[in-house]
Structure 1
């Protein structure tokens, strides 16, 4: 019998490629890969754009040239960023953005690469690349910070104050804060890629306490706090402390996510003393004054009264109570003055260190306004390091503050407004500070030059926008003395401002020749506010301040005053105008 065998697929002999065939395939692939490497450096991938400029298929050098030419008119074009109606123009060079054409082409495929995807892209490429930028992160961050200062709407937390002794709530409002890093990235990304404005990204910040929480605080804290006086038991005396004695120091504000009452100890001191004159004796501060051209210190005197810190701590728990629980027991204690004789002596105010006077033509409003400003200014004391503000010191020029209507410069022309003439006091004060060697923090020359003032060394103010500020940068205190000699019909008035302290510098003033002359025109004004005005030439001038000690120059400062031309103003309609 013959034996049969069965052969399955698994037992069949496998067909093998000759070794030289496989070697040929690998050699071909290697040759193509090497060729691809060299090709990647010879021309750009197909259909490639960089910063919206077509560079596909070009040699790298031609691509660089095409990119530079195609972006030339956009390199310095401002980048617009906006939020609602607010818009900002950013010059690329000013915010630290610099375009690198060669690096941009290199990244888009202008250099050799072993990456097979780059090789395939030579034929099938279709991509738009962002430009390569050199970025000064500090400059860009500074630009973003500046934008944020304008755009940011800080969250408004719920708050209750007590003007005139009655609670006044402030509703909470959500805030919007610029997201700095996303905005910086959006600016970088849009450069040379889009002409559309960059939207400023913001984050909404919700208040910690909502309107319901504010309403609850009104009913549970604020309204009970002013519902009745608080009884003070001091020794054998009992008196009612009126609501108006502590509400100037009282607020209800957000603390750790809830509304809580707070009493400011310093703000409590003055109304507390005024309201408890039957208890103890008020402390008296030292006073420095000038008598017979000599600084004189009137000594301070201690008092006996209620300590504000103790009072604040005792009052807080009981102002929301009712009936007999609305009472505290305190002791009268010695009260030190806030400004002692020792404090006054330590300031070293021993001599006049500068004085300056200016004259003004007669006008009743000038006597009133300059006299009132000088009265308020007189006696102002600046400790070392403190900064003087004319607007904070003199206050708003209103009838209630003792000022009258007079002529001011507004919009490049004379107008009648409250407080006219006060700029003469400002100019005189500025010069007194200038020659005392105080640090100029803020001053604004008039829009056009007024020849009764020292050229370049004059200043104006406008309450709410323009101020005169200087810092006491000297080693000792400075006392300001100011007064006027009123004008009369046919005679000028004089305003004088003196600085008293300890002389530290001899100050010398210099000036450059006038330059950049600007010619005035003529304008007609048929409004009821018109004031006739003679023309004045505009110009620029540098003012130099030289500091000397023992005859040696130790510092020098230069500031520039820019005066616009003052048009001739004719009150009435323009001749030849339409009827």
Structure 2
């Protein structure tokens, strides 16, 4: 028995020795393989990409980083030169790659691919290197793309590709309520679109991007439609009388039929399980259930066409409204004096009138009393200190010596239109606007006016004297001039106080006009007056640290026929520092080109 046990122990020791030899052999072979693997890759691929290394399908085996950069740059240039193609079963769209805001990381892409098999511990590196002997390692381009730019492309396509789901609706046509048909809508699957775009970028492929959609189904409420239809029909049969004091206005059924609109307001998307039940009747037309993801649910409301009702109420408002009147001011002896107090105004409350009309139609009320709102003047006795009218900021002047009695009349009447005028902060002054109608009723007389190729008598001849004087005051106030035109030919009335032509301004409504902007931050008060044959425009406000000078006018060319070219410069200073230098050119034709007509 003891002898048998010795034999068994001896056999076990034998197999242990064999196992140890086998294990040692495997370990040795593994070490040899790893060393050989390292030697193979490290020697043959020193500073080169390992075998079976691809970036977007380009084989970089045995190539350097510089080689990779050159190959990838060429591929990227080719990709950028092609357009982005998007299509569905019916249409196609084409966009420049520049529509997508993309930043490619070429260096990062190359380094990441190069380090695969070089950046782990020995075991992981060895496994990766062994795999590389048989299987290619594929890498994609690293990049960052603006999601907003993708969304912008998607929205451009959506305008052409998407369809709005429409429920059964109601419209008023020829005085009757009619139903409109419902229709299925479709929307672009945004997630799919983004993924497809990004896949196109990361692979630098030139494939068409296929649009995928989800369908939006109508969910018309027939019972609600019938109720709305009945209510609208009752409204169409009514007449309403609007009243304000003794005035009355009748709104009859034909007019009501032009105003009534029946709007659909969308509600939130319903729960998807409920949606499937609502969409069952459409299953025969739409086979792909994955595309049924939403349905539109809305409610119908009766309202009035805001634009049409506003036009009607504006006409009534013109018969009711009384505009608030600013206080009339005068600046005398360094003080701002009120010569005529401000007056409140009234105006039709148009929004309330719309509400009352709709309520009357719904409640079958026949009479509506209109309400008004009180309006207050911008310039009043109680806010004079807020206006900023504290000093003379500029003066414009001109000489009308030699004018006919009719021309003198027109100059003085025209100037009176601007006396006491207030220009609000930020307002663009228009000479033509504030001048108003130029006719006999306004006090003007016929006098010579320059028209294309002729001189003819019209009401208001000579008003350019007023415009020129106002222009000069605006220049010295440093105000931005937004519109100004010189006369067609040289007129001697517009020389003084300068030595020659070039600082005049002509007007003839609606254009040419004299315009400038009040950028002082305060109100400007205009006061006009004449002394002998000289006209003055005084501008009062807050001068602050601004000042202005005029350099010129200079005659650049002068011809025997009277034609001339002039220029002057306006320098605007803030705290004695030049902030702006404006150039004003004038071009004058020969006076002989303009024949006088009686």
TM-score (norm 1): 0.46
Q: Max radius of gyration: which structure?
A: 2
TM-score (norm 2): 0.45
Q: Which structure carries more helix by proportion?
A: 2
